């Protein structure tokens, strides 16, 4: 009997994904609304598949992926997220995900992805060639973003959304000083004049 864990903090999204999974023959469907629920539920229910969002309370999806990988728990993970594939698909692939679907796609893509992953295949979009699709400024900025660690990228997005250092520290279980250090590091790595420009940089690259 096929089982699955849906991880997303939006009930409407979980409901839509559940419909797809029922149609794909899953009988045992479990749900989680935050990243820190995932590993305990995987250990408890031993699902065949995890459908995972990347933006969630407590732990983001990249952190969850890393923890699943290091835990050694056998589990197929399919990413279903609003995050830009250009910056996240390769990271998720290297972290052990079996597939990546952007929420902007038709749900038919989710059907195909679930079917492929459960059959033992991977499901990743063929992204456009950078040399064709990006101008030199965008290409340079993509290279800078690609060099960020997963944690730096997550903090960058939080800062770009206008979230305070204190709140980021609480969300990511870091000290206020550590977040400030990351902010300073990001300004240097992304070659912007100050943290004020992080939002423009993120918007220009479709990260927020």
**What are the tens digits of pLDDT across the range 78-101?**
999 998 898 899 999 989 999 999
Distance CA 34, CA 15 (A): 16
**What are the tens digits of pLDDT across the range 109-139?**
999 999 999 999 999 987 655 444 555 556 6
Q: Alpha helix locations (H) across the chain? A: 11-23, 38-45, 61-71, 85-94, 107-118, 130-133, 136-146, 150-160, 165-172, 176-189, 198-204
Task: Spell out the domains of the chain, with CATH numbers in brackets.
Answer: 3-118 (3.40.50.2300), 131-204 (1.10.10.10)
The model scores a pTM over 0.85: no
Report which of 129, 130, 151, 155 is spatially closest to residue 142, judged by C-alpha positions. Answer: 130
SS3 74: coil
């Amino acid at each position: 009997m096929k089982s699955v864990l849906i991880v997303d903090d939006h009930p409407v999204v979980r409901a839509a994904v559940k419909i797809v999974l029922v149609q794909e023959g899953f009988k045992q469907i479990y749900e989680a609304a935050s990243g820190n629920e995932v590993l305990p539920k995987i250990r408890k229910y031993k699902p065949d598949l995890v459908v995972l969002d990347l933006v969630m309370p407590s732990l983001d999806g990249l952190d969850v992926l890393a923890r699943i990988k290091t835990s050694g728990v056998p589990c197929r993970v399919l990413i279903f997220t609003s995050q830009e594939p250009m910056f996240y698909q390769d990271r998720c692939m290297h972290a052990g995900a079996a597939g990546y679907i952007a929420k902007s796609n038709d749900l038919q893509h989710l059907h195909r992805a679930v079917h492929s992953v459960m059959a033992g295949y991977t499901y990743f979009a063929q992204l456009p060639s950078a040399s064709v699709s990006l101008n030199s400024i965008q290409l340079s900025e993509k290279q800078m973003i690609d060099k960020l660690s997963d944690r730096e990228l997550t903090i960058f997005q939080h800062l770009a959304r206008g979230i305070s250092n204190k709140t980021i520290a609480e969300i990511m279980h870091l000290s206020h000083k550590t977040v400030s250090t990351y902010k300073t590091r990001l300004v240097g790595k992304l070659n912007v004049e100050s943290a004020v420009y992080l939002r423009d940089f993120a918007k220009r690259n479709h990260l927020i």
